[in-house]
């Protein structure tokens, strides 16, 4: 299992998780280090063939089962679907994807016609996130949004 978590200590025997697109429930039976990840066995799956259906699938936990983050930090799943607007209150679209790059994440924002805006997830761009109103306010740096009136 390749790890994509900031909390690897939570991957322990007995932990209930959900696997793949259909979120099939499974429980970790045994876990041991293996190369850069973990070698895991799920309860009830005794052969490589029986567990093979889950190869290359994401493993999830319930949203209410994640540890709290410090103020101002958010999990990816919490940010998805936020309405994004500029500092003047102009609607730019909805955050639909987060790209992980080497330097910083990049937020993909789609407007009502499907045009995409790529925004670096850096403090000079992301000015505020209001989880109650589900709005992210951003400062648009020069050149980030193509001039749509030049056609």
Q: Which of 79, 131, 135 is nearest to 105 (CA)?
A: 79
CA 22 to chain centre: 17
Q: What is the pLDDT of residues 56-101, one digit of tens each?
A: 999 999 988 888 888 888 988 899 999 999 999 999 999 999 998 8
Does 112 have pLDDT greater than 90? yes
Element (H, E) at 49: helix 48-51
Domain residue extents for the chain: 8-65, 76-138
Does 29 have pLDDT greater than 60? yes
Per-residue confidence (pLDDT) for residue 65, from 0 to 100: 87
**pTM greater than the 0.75 cutoff:** no
Query: Is-contact 39 25, C-beta < 8 A?
Result: no
Percentages (nearest 5) of helix, strand, coil residues in the chain: 10, 35, 50
User: Whose structure tokens read 């410090």?
Assistant: 70
Indicate the fold that domain 76-138 takes in CATH. Answer: SH3 type barrels. (2.30.30)
Q: Which of 123, 130, 143 is nearest to 89 (CA)?
A: 130
Q: Which of 107, 103, 58 is nearest to 84 (CA)?
A: 107
Per-residue confidence (pLDDT) for residue 151, from 0 to 100: 47
């Amino acid at each position: 299992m390749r790890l994509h978590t900031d909390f690897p200590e939570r991957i322990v025997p007995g932990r209930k998780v959900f696997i793949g697109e259909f979120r099939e429930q499974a429980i970790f039976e045994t876990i041991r280090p293996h190369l850069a990840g973990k070698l895991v066995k799920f309860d009830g799956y005794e052969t490589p063939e029986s567990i093979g259906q889950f190869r290359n699938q994401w493993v999830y936990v319930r949203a209410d089962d994640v540890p709290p983050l410090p103020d101002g930090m958010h999990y990816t799943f919490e940010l998805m679907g936020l309405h994004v607007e500029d500092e003047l209150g102009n609607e730019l679209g909805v955050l639909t994807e987060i790209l992980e790059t080497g330097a910083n994440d990049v937020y993909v924002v789609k407007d009502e016609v499907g045009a995409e805006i790529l925004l670096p997830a850096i403090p000079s761009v992301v000015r505020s996130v209001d989880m109650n109103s589900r709005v992210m306010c951003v400062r648009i740096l020069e050149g980030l949004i193509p001039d749509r009136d030049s056609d």
